[in-house]
A and B are shown apart, each in its own frame.
Chain A
Amino acid sequence: MALNDTSPEQQKLQVDAGIENETTERSLSHWQLMWRRFLKHRLAVFGLIVIIGLYMLAIFCEFFAPMDPYVRYSQFVNAPPQRIRFVDHEGNFSIRPFVYGHKSTLDMQSFRRVYEPDYSKRYDLRLFTKGSKYKLWGFFPGSLRFFGVEEGGHLFLFGTDNLGRDVFSRIIYGSRISLSIGLIGVFISLAIGMLLGGISGLRGGLIDELLQRVIELLRSVPDIPLWMGLSAALPPHWSPIRVYFGITVILSLLGWTHVARVVRSRFLSLRNEEFVLAAYAAGASEWRIITKHLIPSFISYVIVSVTLSIPGMILGETALSFLGIGLRPPVISWGVLLEQAQNIAAVNTYPWLLTPAIFVILTVLSLNFVGDGLRDAADPYSK
């Protein structure tokens, strides 16, 4: 009451004095408050920017990749990364970055190709160049690339693999599969988790008991062997796209248990809240109470738990493909790329084959930061 008694002058004074009075918080919804708290979490904002950037790369990978990821440059097998230079070998500075082409010689002792910069071949880096033709999302033909070198040149920022394909472009293409598998997997597990967790929490009794034991059973089985068993069961003649969905389903079959537990516990604690009883007393139907009062009250917790489980999905796919039982070439994913870095000799001589791992780490870390930030923001009692 006292607050309303303050005159406009007084309120103005308070604002002038920098006192945060209630009017500044007025009519901010739950989501706006949450967003505000999220923005205060620096690492989470940074993570979110990185994640958005990575997903943009994944969505428009044809545009962002400088080279065609499937073309083999047989004369440049296992070539090291090219250095981006501003100063040429004679010491002249150029504002436009460029790379030198590779020239290879055969080391007669180790019978291995040794690459050196070929100073006679200089390729300038350009933004929005015309590169090799592609079809965006498999439909729209185009050839515009975000950056690259002029036609006839080559650009291997992260070197090439054992078939002479550009690792950098392959990483960017691989992000499409690796990142989307996390999202789709999470949505499937969200759907299953919400449904089963909801039934478990709302109905209780025997169904609840049964579902909880199933969840415990699923969680007690070690992940990797179970994934291995399930993905070994995928028919070998399946097309890559079916394998992709098969793997997603396998990953989410285990992922839903976490969501289901969050949803169940929230239902259990919320259904005894007085506002739920009050809503019943006001004549609301059960469906209305679930969808309008219960789910909106805990959806932020579900979002947090889902965000924190995306990295697990991505790592799962990477692990499976790394072991050679997930996705297989010619499909490109980060796990498939890392499969080449399996033996120590390869890693030792061609360390650039490990660069996909950097992207995996970057993604997982960023998603965890975002999840942490969301969790702090979703909890109204955090400071």
Chain B
Amino acid sequence: MVDSVAKNREDILLEVKGLKTYFHTEYGVVRAVNGVDITFPRGKVVGVVGESGCGKSVTALSIMQLVSQPPGKIEAGTIMYYPEDEAPIDILSLNPKERKMRELRGKELAMIFQEPMTSLNPIYTVGDQIIEKVQVHFPMDRNEAKEYAIDMLNKVGIPDPAQRVDEYPHQMSGGMRQRAMIAIALACDPRFLIADEPTTALDVTVQAQILILMQDLQQEFGTSIMLVTHDLGVVGEMADVVAVMYMGKVVEYADVQTLFYEPRHPYTRGLLRSIPLIGQSGARWLSPIEGMLPDPYDQIIGCSFAARCPHRTEQCQHETPPWLESEDGRGVRCWLYA
């Protein structure tokens, strides 16, 4: 049933275990990521969903070791990266500023950001920015790198790449810039791509184009993708496996079919109930999840979702639920299944 979830050790590309990333601010400690475990199978798309502030972006930045320190600090955990023919690397054991980590970034692990408007440097041409990245990682001369840049722009579907390569970001539309960002990210052929809400800032029509493009490129390059989003529609379209996050923890992990058809965690069920479905009879109203997110400065005893959960018991409010993993690889963090 769950063929997308990695069962063998060889199928795993990246494994996050017990990750804790805290922010030490003037007002207290924000436990943005508070014990996250996610497994990223080789060549698959893992969707990471959750509300704003649930820690999905911070998890992504922690994998890249780009959490700004201070105020951020990775307190605990391991992030194991398994390259194909080399020894595994614990990313967190590397100094974020050292050459070793910099070589991983961009070459092995790449990232696409939410805002295509601001994630390109306005004073360089798009071509220059691809060339720069290529030259940082490969010993290519400028002409070769430029050829490569034109080739990449062609692959991401930018028309007239030989001309567009000399254009500045402000001369391009939002969708075009996001394509250029994808071209930069996929230059150097990374094994793992983090897409942090790659379509949130785009028009719906352009969103679809970008998603299709990412899917095509994922097939072509065989890249594993971590797709960070709050849009369950995007997850349903793109992802093979889904991790649902709430208050800095993964509450459910399953392959996409299972998650949509048999959600287990009450939070996942709540999320799915709050999506409008076109064509469904008018009798069903959207049912939002009751209550509000807790204050991020509070340290919660018991299950962090307990206050909003329709199935809460006495136990939920006092004891933290354990991570319950079934044999097929799906997992849930809830007392209901203990």
Contact = CB atoms under 8 A, between A and B. Distances in A.
Given A1-B173, A27-B167, A282 B136 contact: yes
B102 A27 contact: no
A274 B99 CA distance: 22
B120 A283 contact: no
A351 interface: no
Interface size class of A (residues with CB under 8 A): 20 to 34
A274 B159 contact: no
Interface size class of B (residues with CB under 8 A): 35 or more
A284 interface: yes
A280 B166 CA distance: 23
Interface in A241-282: 273-275, 277-282
Interface string B165-201: 0111001010010000100110000000000000000
Interface stretch (B11-19, B37-45, B111-119, B249-257): B111-119
A285 interface: yes
Contacts of A237: none
A26 B167 contact: yes
A297 B137 contact: no
A288 B111 contact: no
A357 B35 CA distance: 72
B306 interface: no
Nearest to A22: B171
Interface in B213-242: none
B132 interface: yes
A292 B181 CA distance: 18
Interface in B106-149: 106-107, 110-111, 113-115, 118-123, 125, 132-133, 136-137
B103 interface: yes
A4 B173 contact: no
A296 interface: yes
A113 interface: no
A16 B193 CA distance: 47
A278 B106 CA distance: 10
A299 to B, nearest CB: 10
B118 A274 contact: yes
Contacts of A274: 113-115, 118-119
Interface of B: 64, 66, 97, 99, 102-107, 110-111, 113-115, 118-123, 125, 132-133, 136-137, 159-160, 166-168, 171, 173, 176, 181, 184-185
7 contacts: A25-B171, A280-B66, A280-B105, A281-B105, A282-B184, A285-B99, A297-B123
Given A29-B123, A275-B121, 4 more contacts: A274-B113, A278-B113, A283-B104, A283-B137
